[in-house]
Homo-oligomer: A and B are copies of this chain.
Amino acid sequence: MKTLFKNCYVLCGHEIKFTSLLVEDEYIRYIGDEPQEYDYLRDMKGALLMPGLVNAHAHGPMTLLRGVGGGLALQDWLNNAIFPREAKMKPDDIRIGENWAIIEMLTAGITCTAEMYDFPWELGESLVKSGMKGNICRVGLSFSDQEEIPPNRFNECVEMVEKFNDPTGKVVADFCLHSEYLSTDSIVEKIAEANKKYKRLVHVHVAETKAETDECKLRHNGLTPIQYFNKMGILDQKVYAAHCVWVNDDDLAIMKEKDVSIVHNPTSNMKLGSGFAPIRKAMANGVNVCLGTDGVASNNSLNIFKEMHLASIIHNGHRLDPLSIKPPQVIDMATINGAKALGRYDTGILEVGKKADIIAVSLDKPHMYPVIDVLSLLCYSVQSSDVVMTMVDGKILYDHGDYTTMDFEKAKFELAQSLKSIL
């Protein structure tokens, strides 16, 4: 099947061309002005084609908790609003919450997500059915070295990477450690040892708050979370580390050397009062930086365009320097850097031979005109509602309000039903 997109702007790297783009099966086969054979023609009427957005840190099923516990202090919010509700969630609630997250993300032009949440098999099932790409994981954590608590967690982590298999390769299973503060030496060692064999990516929270980082140093002879994970061998495989707000210069040097990606979650970091991740310095040091939404409960959206906007401006404010972060860097964070962080080297950019993970952004709304500088529009002006089409591996999953794999009304009905038991 060949689909030819015509009359479109195409974001090629950081360059904009007004041209056409041919998708054949899962791949981008041609970008240019020469006539092409096609089965299906789409006149894009001046919309912009760009790479699908990558959400490299999410807890999708928390869509169920959007707005729960607003106005509470962090520990109060976690202990009295979030944890009791999460404890009530059954596998079916997870599937339902993830379905809603997928609908929200496809609508917002996200083609690939990295999900860290309980019931990963249900997450995987929802993602595979949706046609979206995803990195999933069993959350590795333990509270006791004597006896693994929760029991068998390590075995479940291994089982996930060993047995989860999406034949299309769109959904993959990674290893995961929740964080230094929810891990004992024992589970960290065991995961590092197991990963010598499996060589999977590792998804982890790192240095989100100052307190967490200070306490890690007390627990581990002055080692920061990154230094601790490095010592334990976790960084010997490729890691994507969410937050990294409080990483220091030594940490950044280790991350560069070990190819650890930072997943920057600016909305969550602002809303929860965590602070400003040193992403400018990280990028200057050659560390790969990408973007994540975190869970809806601490955001409250799954909207990478919002993360791009915040990443574009808050560091200028924090550093009192309007040139801290520039649009091309932010475009990369949201696309190719995210793809790299998730071990996906065949996507994240519109190039011949790459997978056709493509979104169309309308330039028709008042806030997107005049079209003088498209990169600026994408970083400062766009809204996720400007996304009019989302394609993954050559298959259109969202098209002007319609979904081709998700049942919107059913998903909404099921979400309402789930909420009755959770709230």
Query: Taking beta carbons and an 8 Å cutoff, which residues of A are in contact with B?
Result: 63-68, 70-71, 73-74, 100, 103-104, 107-108, 210, 267, 269-276, 299-303, 306, 309-310, 312-314, 316-324, 326-327, 365-367, 369-373, 375-377, 380-381, 383-386, 412, 415-416, 419, 423
3 closest A-B pairs (Cβ-Cβ)?
A67-B373, A270-B317, A385-B385
Q: A104 and B67: CB pair below 8 A? A: no
- Asked if A370 meets B66 with Cβ closer than 8 Å, knowing A271-B322, A273-B324, the reply is yes
In angstroms, Cα B321 to Cα A271, docked, is 9
- Asked if A313 meets B267 with Cβ closer than 8 Å, knowing A67-B373, A273-B319, the reply is yes
In angstroms, Cα B416 to Cα A369, docked, is 9
In angstroms, Cα B323 to Cα A69, docked, is 12
Q: B370 and A64: CB pair below 8 A? A: yes
Residues in chain B near residue A372, CB distance under 8 A: 65-68, 419, 423
Residues in chain B near residue A276, CB distance under 8 A: 317
Distance from A418 Cβ to chain B, minimum over Cβ atoms (Å) = 9
Residues in chain B near residue A373, CB distance under 8 A: 67-68, 70
In angstroms, Cα B63 to Cα A366, docked, is 9
Q: B367 and A317: CB pair below 8 A? A: no
Which listed residue, B64, B68, B300, B319, touches A380 by the CB 8 Å rule? B300
Distance from A220 Cβ to chain B, minimum over Cβ atoms (Å) = 23
Total copies of the chain: 2
23 pairs, CB–CB < 8 Å, chain A vs chain B: A66-B372, A66-B381, A67-B372, A67-B373, A70-B326, A70-B373, A103-B366, A107-B365, A107-B366, A108-B367, A269-B317, A270-B314, A271-B313, A273-B322, A274-B317, A275-B320, A300-B377, A300-B380, A301-B367, A302-B367, A367-B384, A372-B423, A383-B384
Q: A272 and B365: CB pair below 8 A? A: no
Quick one: which of A73, A322, A327 has the most chain B CB within 10 A? Answer: A322
Residues in chain B near residue A65, CB distance under 8 A: 372
Residues in chain B near residue A271, CB distance under 8 A: 312-313, 316-317, 322, 380
Closest residue to A384 on the B side, CB-wise? B383
In angstroms, Cα B369 to Cα A68, docked, is 12
Closest residue to A377 on the B side, CB-wise? B67
Distance from A257 Cβ to chain B, minimum over Cβ atoms (Å) = 29
Q: A272 and B316: CB pair below 8 A? A: yes
- Asked if A67 meets B370 with Cβ closer than 8 Å, knowing A73-B323, A270-B314, the reply is yes
Which listed residue, B210, B270, B301, B419, touches A316 by the CB 8 Å rule? B270
Distance from A77 Cβ to chain B, minimum over Cβ atoms (Å) = 8
In angstroms, Cα B365 to Cα A283, docked, is 35
